[in-house]
Structure 1
Amino acid sequence: MANGKIKKMFPGGNTSQGFYSYYDNIIEPDAKRIFVIKGGPGVGKSTLMRAIGETMFDKGYSVEFHCCSSDNSSLDGVCIPEIGIAMLDGTAPHVVDPKNPGAVDEIVHLGDFWDENLLRKNKSAILKTNHLVGRFFQMAYFALKEAKVIRDEWESYITEAMSFAGVNAVTLKISKEIFSDVKPDFSRPAKARHLFASAITPDGSINYLDTILQDIRKLYIIKGEPGSGKAALIAKLTDQAAGLGLDSEQYHCSLIPQNIDVLVIPKLSAAVANLSEPVCFDPICLPNLEISEEINLSAFLNSETLSHYAEEIIGCKTRFHAAFNRAVKRINQAKAEHDLMESYYVPAMNFKHINAKKEELLARIIKYAEEKSIH
C-alpha cells in the first residue's frame, strides 16, 4: 500500500455568529461506519480517536484529523476516507446524534467506564466550572460579534475607495488560467465539502494549510484590506468550478463563516486562498507547488478617496484587534476552566477498560479496511 498522508482541518469554529459547525461534512452520511464517541471532558475521547488514526496512518492509510477550535491539543473527529470510516466527538457544543443508527452510525459511550459516585462527590464543583466555561464562551462570542461590526465599518471605507474593475480583471485572469482546459462534466452535480482551514483558538488564529494544500501545484494567494473584494473573487471562482462539474473543498472564514477563504479543486491540483491577516502562512513549505502567484487587491484602492477616511480606518484597526484579542483571551479562559473540569473526571475513569475499548474499535476498523481491499 502507498504511504498515506495526514490532513488537518477544523470541522467547527468560534465565529462572530457563535460556535459554527460543519460537522456534517466530515464524512458522507452513507459512510461504511461512523462511531459517535460520547462521554464527559477528560474521559479519553480525543486520545482514543488520535491513537486509532495514527495506527491506521502507520498502516499506510491517509487520515484526516479534525481539530478542536477550543483546544489546540484536542480532536473533534478522525476520518479515514479510503475506507469510509469516521469517529466523531458527539458531545457539546457539537452534539452529534446517529442519523442512520445501526446501519451506519454507532454510539460509543465512554461514560460506561467512569465511577459515578466519585463524580457525584464533585458535583457542585463540576456545575460551577461548567457554568464558567459557557459564560466565557458567551463573552468570547460577544467580542467576536463586536469585531465583525467594527470590520463592517472598516470594509465600508475600503469598498468606497476600490476600483472593482481591476478586481474583475484579476478574477477573469485567474479563471482563465485555472479553467481554460476544463471540459464541463454534467454527468452529476459537483460535490462541495465545507470545513474550516483556520480557527480562532485559545492561542489565537491557527491554521493547518500546510496539510490542506500539500498536493496543490498551482496556488493563487489573495490579499487585501477588508472590503477589497477577496470574498467575492473566491465566490465567483467557486461558482464557476461548480458550473463546470468540478468537486471542491471550501474552507470558510473563521470570523465570518459564510465567506470562503480557501477554495481547493483537487482534480486540477489548484487552489485560491485568502491569506490576509490574521491568517499567517508561507507557501514555501508546500512540496508539490509549481506555480504560486500573490495578488494584493489593495493595489486597486484610490488613494485620494482613502485619505478622507485615514483616521477612521486607523481607529477601526485598533478597535478590531482589541475586540479580537479579547475574544481569544476569553476562549483561553474557557479552556482553563475546561481543563479544571477534566481534572474531576480523569480520576473517575477506568482507563484500562477504555484502552480495551480502543483496541476493540481498532480491530473492527482494520477488518473494515481488509474487507474494502478485498472488494
Structure 2
Amino acid sequence: MAYLKERHLFPGGNTSKGFYSFYKYILSQEDGNRILCMKGSPGSGKSYFMKKIGAHFAAKGYTIEYHHCSSDNNSLDAVVIKELKLAILDGTAPHMVDPIHPGAVDEVLNMGEALDMDALFLNKKEIMEVQKKISKTFERAYRYFAAAKDIHDDWSSLNAESISTDKISTVTESLKEEIFHTQKSGYGADRHLFATAFTPNGIVTFAEDLVFGFENKFILNGGPGFGKTEIFKKIGSTAQRKGYFVEYMHDPLIPERIEHLLIPELSTCVLTTNEISQTSFTGKVYNIEDFCKADVIAANKEEVAYCSKIFYDLIEKGLSLITDAHTIHDELETFYISAMNFDVANDIFDKVVKKFEKFE
C-alpha cells in the first residue's frame, strides 16, 4: 500500500525520561539526498518556514511528512518530502542536531541571518530570565511524568500477576499466522517515532490518520502490564526477518514501550487501545484480559483502580505544566519576532526551494 500524501508524526516527546528524541529516524543519512539542519531562535519562523516548504511541494503532488513539536503540537520540528528524500529539521535545543556528513548529505540553514542581534542584546537580561522559567517548568513537568511512571509500574505489576504466559503466546502465534503469508529476501529496516505525545493541548495522537487505508488492522485491548509490548516486539522482529520494513510508534510516557506497529508493505498494522491515548480503532480485536487469570484480575481490581486514579492525576498535572511552559515560551518568542527581518527570511525560503527543486 502507499502512504497517505500527508502524514503527521512526533519525532520527540515529553516523557517520564524528560525530552526523548527519535530524530535520527526522520530521514536517515543513507536514504537522504539532502537534510537541512535549521538553526534559529524561538520566533525566527522555523516552523512557518517548514510549513511553507511542505505546502509548496505538496502542491506538486509529493508525499509530505509533518513532524510536530511535542511542546507545541501546532509547530513543526521537521518536514520531509518523501519521494525526493529531502528534509528540514529544527536543529536547536532540545534537539541539538548538527550535520553528520556536511555537504555530502546535510548542511546548516541559519535563520539567525534574519535577526537583528543588536535589538536582542538590549533584551539580554529579560530573555535569559524567561528561558530559565521555561526550563524550570519543563523540569517540574518531567518530575510529574516520572512519578506517573512509578505508579504506572505498580499498576503494571498488578496486572502482570494475572498473565498466563502460554495463552499470551497463543495470541502472538495467532497474529503471526494472520499477518505473514509471504516472505521477501533480506532483513527489513525499522523506523521509530511517536504517534502520540504529551502537549500543551493535552494528549494528542495522530494514530487514526497514520493507519487510514490499512487493510488489515489488529487491535490489542488491555491496560498496562499485560505484555502488549512483548507481542509487538515479536511481531516486529518476525516482520523484519521476513524482509519487511516496520514502523514502531512508541509510548509517549515510557518510550521503551511500543504503542503501535505498522507494516505498510503488507497493509497491516497492530494497534493498542491503551490507557494513555484511549483511541478506539476498528479491526480484529484481541482483548488481552480474556487470555489472563480472571480471579487475579478481580482480586486486584481495587488496587488497580487506585493506581489508575493517581496515575491520571499526575499526568494531568504534568500536562498543565507543559501548557504553562508553552505560555512562557510565547513570551520569549515576542522578543525574537520583533527583531526578525522577514524579507531576509523570504530570501532564504526562495533559495531552499531552488536547492530542493534540483532533486526533482
Normalising by structure 2, report the TM-score. Answer: 0.96
User: What secondary structure does 1:363 align onto?
Assistant: helix
Query: Quick check: 301-310 or 51-60, which moved more?
Result: 301-310
Alignment check: 8 A CA contact 2:219 2:281 kept: no
Q: Which residue of 1 aligns with 2:226?
A: 228
Say if 2:55 is the partner of 1:64: no
User: What secondary structure does 1:139 align onto?
Assistant: helix
Cα distance in 2 between the residues matched to 1:201 and 1:256 = 15
The structure-2 alpha-carbon separation of the partners of 1:172 and 1:4, relative to structure 1 and needing over 3 Å to count, comes to closer
1:82-161 map, 5 Å: 82-161=83-162
Equivalent position amino acid for 2:210 in 1: I
Alignment check: 8 A CA contact 1:16 1:145 kept: yes
Cα distance in 2 between the residues matched to 1:243 and 1:342 = 47
Cα distance in 1 between the residues matched to 2:281 and 2:153 = 29
Alignment check: 8 A CA contact 1:4 1:57 kept: no
Q: Which residue of 1 aligns with 2:343?
A: 352
TM-superposed CA distance for 1:217, in Å, is 0.8
Q: Which residue of 2 aligns with 1:249?
A: 247
1:250-329 map, 5 Å: 250-283=248-281, 292-329=283-320
The structure-2 alpha-carbon separation of the partners of 1:224 and 1:283, relative to structure 1 and needing over 3 Å to count, comes to closer
Cα distance in 1 between the residues matched to 2:161 and 2:65 = 42
Alignment check: 8 A CA contact 1:10 1:66 kept: yes
Instruction: Please list every run of 5 or more consecutive structure 1 residues that lacks an aligned counterpart in the other structure.
Output: 285-291, 370-375
Q: Which residue of 1 aligns with 2:22?
A: 22
Residue-by-residue CA offset, 1:166-206 (whole Å, 9 max, x unaligned): 22212111110001x212423xx320011111111112211
Alignment check: 8 A CA contact 2:167 2:292 kept: no
Alignment check: 8 A CA contact 1:4 1:60 kept: no
Alignment check: 8 A CA contact 2:15 2:142 kept: yes
Cα RMSD (Å): 1.6
Q: Which residue of 1 aligns with 2:199?
A: 201
Say if 2:333 is the partner of 1:335: no
The structure-2 alpha-carbon separation of the partners of 1:118 and 1:150, relative to structure 1 and needing over 3 Å to count, comes to same
The structure-2 alpha-carbon separation of the partners of 1:281 and 1:310, relative to structure 1 and needing over 3 Å to count, comes to closer
Cα distance in 2 between the residues matched to 1:115 and 1:314 = 55
Alignment check: 8 A CA contact 1:158 1:301 kept: no
Cα distance in 2 between the residues matched to 1:196 and 1:184 = 27
Residue-by-residue CA offset, 1:195-224 (whole Å, 9 max, x unaligned): 111111112211112332124110101110
Cα distance in 1 between the residues matched to 2:280 and 2:346 = 39
User: What secondary structure does 1:348 align onto?
Assistant: coil
Alignment check: 8 A CA contact 1:199 1:206 kept: yes
Aligned residues: 358
Alignment check: 8 A CA contact 2:10 2:197 kept: yes
Cα distance in 2 between the residues matched to 1:316 and 1:3 = 39
Alignment check: 8 A CA contact 1:250 1:260 kept: yes
Alignment check: 8 A CA contact 1:6 1:211 kept: no
TM-superposed CA distance for 1:4, in Å, is 7.0
Alignment check: 8 A CA contact 1:144 1:327 kept: yes
TM-superposed CA distance for 1:277, in Å, is 2.3
Q: Which residue of 1 aligns with 2:56?
A: 55
Q: Which residue of 1 aligns with 2:210?
A: 212
User: What secondary structure does 2:13 align onto?
Assistant: strand
User: What secondary structure does 1:74 align onto?
Assistant: strand
TM-superposed CA distance for 1:3, in Å, is 11
Residue-by-residue CA offset, 1:111-137 (whole Å, 9 max, x unaligned): 111111211121111111101111111
The structure-2 alpha-carbon separation of the partners of 1:253 and 1:4, relative to structure 1 and needing over 3 Å to count, comes to closer
User: What secondary structure does 1:161 align onto?
Assistant: coil
Equivalent position amino acid for 1:332 in 2: T
TM-superposed CA distance for 1:252, in Å, is 0.8
TM-superposed CA distance for 1:282, in Å, is 4.2
Normalising by structure 1, report the TM-score. Answer: 0.92
User: What secondary structure does 1:155 align onto?
Assistant: helix
Alignment check: 8 A CA contact 2:273 2:280 kept: no
The structure-2 alpha-carbon separation of the partners of 1:296 and 1:4, relative to structure 1 and needing over 3 Å to count, comes to closer
Instruction: Please list every run of 5 or more consecutive structure 2 residues that lacks an aligned counterpart in the other structure.
Output: none
Equivalent position amino acid for 1:91 in 2: T
TM-superposed CA distance for 1:271, in Å, is 0.5
Alignment check: 8 A CA contact 1:3 1:60 kept: no
Equivalent position amino acid for 1:200 in 2: F
Cα distance in 1 between the residues matched to 2:51 and 2:99 = 21
